[in-house]
């Protein structure tokens, strides 16, 4: 949790608020590129992600499932989980991406492509 000290009060920024703010930034960029975007509604009892992994579904020139991260170590962990999920499910016609947004740094965007058992990327 981050604490910002102002002149008159202390404001705490939660992980949820930070995540929602960064997801909104990503959705605005995708919508500006012509994509129609959606995210799952928050639920107290179920995952807030598509398939338990993806924050945003974007439909436009392509169909994309995107995971948004704001922490580099979480980015690497999520990339590994998404890679395993993509290899397991072998879904065609969808682009899987993971985006990292760190403070004062431009978006880092990576596509996750299916791999064969030897580790090389499969072509579609």
Query: What are the pLDDT digits (tens) for 49-97?
Result: 888 899 999 999 999 999 999 999 999 999 999 999 999 998 889 999 9
Among 63, 53, 4, residue whose Cα is nearest residue 30: 63
Which tokens belong to 53? Answer: 């992994």
Instruction: Give the Cα separation of 117 and 121 in Å (integer).
Output: 9
List the domain boundaries for the chain: 2-112
For Cα atoms 47, 108, 113, give the angle at the middle one, nearest 5 degrees: 65
Instruction: Give the Cα separation of 92 and 29 in Å (integer).
Output: 24
Q: How confident is the model at residue 18 (pLDDT cuts 50, 70, 90)?
A: confident
Instruction: Give the Cα separation of 102 and 72 in Å (integer).
Output: 8
Instruction: Give the Cα separation of 61 and 48 in Å (integer).
Output: 25
Q: Match domain 2-112 to its CATH number in 3.30.720, 3.40.1350, 3.10.450, 3.40.50.
A: 3.40.1350
Which tokens belong to 91? Answer: 């879904």
Q: How confident is the model at residue 7 (pLDDT cuts 50, 70, 90)?
A: very low
């Amino acid at each position: 949790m981050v604490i910002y000290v102002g002149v008159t009060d202390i404001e705490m920024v939660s992980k949820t608020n930070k995540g929602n703010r960064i997801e909104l930034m990503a959705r605005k960029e995708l919508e500006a590129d012509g994509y129609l975007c959606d995210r799952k509604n928050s639920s107290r009892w179920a995952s807030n992600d598509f398939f338990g992994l993806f924050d945003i579904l974007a439909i436009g020139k392509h169909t994309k499932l995107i995971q948004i991260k704001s922490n580099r170590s979480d980015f690497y962990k999520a990339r590994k989980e998404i890679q395993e999920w993509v290899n397991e499910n072998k879904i065609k016609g969808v682009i899987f991406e993971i985006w990292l947004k760190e403070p004062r740094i431009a978006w880092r965007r990576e596509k996750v492509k299916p791999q064969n058992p030897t580790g090389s990327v499969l072509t579609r």
